[in-house]
Chains A and B, each alone.
Chain A
Amino acid sequence: MMKHKPKIVWLQAITCNGNTHSLLSANPSRFELLLNTFDFFYHPSITTEKTLDDVLNLKEIDFLLLEGAVTSNKQFYQISDSSVTDLLKKVSKKSKYIISVGSCASYGGIHAKFEENSDIKGLQDTLNIVELKKLKQPIINLTGCPVHPEWILQTLFTLKEFGVISLDMQSRPKDIYYGLAHHGCTRNEYFEWKVEAKSFGHKEGCLFYEEGCRGPMTHSNCNRILWNDVNTKTRAGMPCIGCTEFDFPRDNMLETKKNIGIPSEVPFGINKRAYLTITGVAKTFKIDRLNKKLIE
């Protein structure tokens, strides 16, 4: 007998398709396992056999994944003649789990900055949870711009095996978002001893003090589960821009906002005055090793 493979339906609303390409860039054997374990029933840019009509005719969807922000405004955005909101209202009622893939689907993200359309938001603010009778747990937000492919895989496999996962206040899986992007960054030692990067383009130094790095205020595990199995932005030298948080994108993402030379936001959960005291003390240590080039 064929084992039941849980059905995945992936829909796209206002998006750049970045999350789709992130998924396609997943570790290949993990991706293959995903395809073998689940029934990837529909994805607008990947599947060829099924159409949106087939999705609408389904009685039940195990996992409904949405990529992109939601709007009810058909003038700017429509999917097969329906407004995004109408379509989602129909499909969500059949779904056991609903997952917002990416910061746009979760909060509106970068697309919500298009002010000429005043109705761009995340999925959670669109659906009325009371009407979703089949839903087995609150809508899950997998934030990130784009989302890390492993987060999608881990979430799907965990739900398949265990049925529920615990979520934080923002409805994000705690297992992913309990820590900060900062954890695991190869520049952590520079951060501790307050050694700032001389400028962009160096392995040495932390990007928190000048370059705007949001690692210490951003919930994600990028620096523990590496991107493309290889690296992360902060390791490579690009500051974290906080793309997993609700306020992404902010203004001036590549510089650190300061008051009288002091970063105006300090690491998550730390008292500002205490932080400044530590900074002062740390800066008195002149650690040669940290002020030299790593490879001479």
Chain B
Amino acid sequence: MSLEIIKPGLSTTVQDRGRFGYYRYGIPQGGAMDQYAAALANRIVGNTADDALLECSYLGPKISIDSDALISVTGAPIDVLVNGVEVEQNARLELEAGDELSFGVIKGGTKFFIAVAGGIDVPEALGSRSTYPIGRIGGLEGRALIAGDTLPVGLPHPESLPRLERVPKDMLPEYSRSMRVRVMVGLYDHKLTDEGLRNLTEAEWTLTPVADRMGLRFDGPGVEWKDEPQPFGAGQDPSNITDAGYPVGSIQIPGGTQPIVLHYDAVSGGGYAQAGTVISADMDLFARMSPGTKVRFVPVDMEEALAARAEARARFDRIWS
């Protein structure tokens, strides 16, 4: 069984839970930008949480299916069409051979997910099917999909695997124009002036259109770096550091103007100072923001971050219970 890509959409890629253990070589974790929404899609069609699916950005693809198949669409709210007729999002869809899946206009967020029973069965690269375009690995030939691509689909899992008819309302992710994102300040925050750090954690920031799987740039009052002598090797700008590893979710502020949150496809290191890191529980939120979304970076400590992690884990486990 396979999916044929008639139109690719803006950027449609194969993703799964990500690729771990190769960060030391500069190979990012990748993986669905909204892990929770992706897990819901897999659950509906009876996949495991590890199965690969399609992640779409803004403009959906047009896909035809060559056999009867179970699919689901979750994530950013969007009109889902089968042969031009609107069907339900966040619910199980039974498609017949030759059916065409397409999409209307996105109504919030940026990323939505298409799962098919059996999962997208491209070969694993370094333990994952996630697409890493810069390194040309994972997904289909290591790139976003193009018209004419044929994607293999795996064998559906045994009937015994539980599946969800539709996502209960209280389990759906929220898409709001105003969000709170929890961060742990740290890393190189001592290089910021007090006012600079206050701006980061107390001011309201607006997501710019410069946002993708690598990073998301925010507009706001800017922050000020202390004007101190720079260490040897770092580079002259006060926002420069001796090149170091970047935590996933860390916030760098080149030149002090626009904070950039690094996401799952971001570079693994470099020479810009970072003032904090988004906690793991809140990383999914960035797939649910469209440009113009107002964001506050709320400081939390490690214990609060771990409590939020446990909560997120419980929410995730509820999908599979």
Say whether A associates with B: no
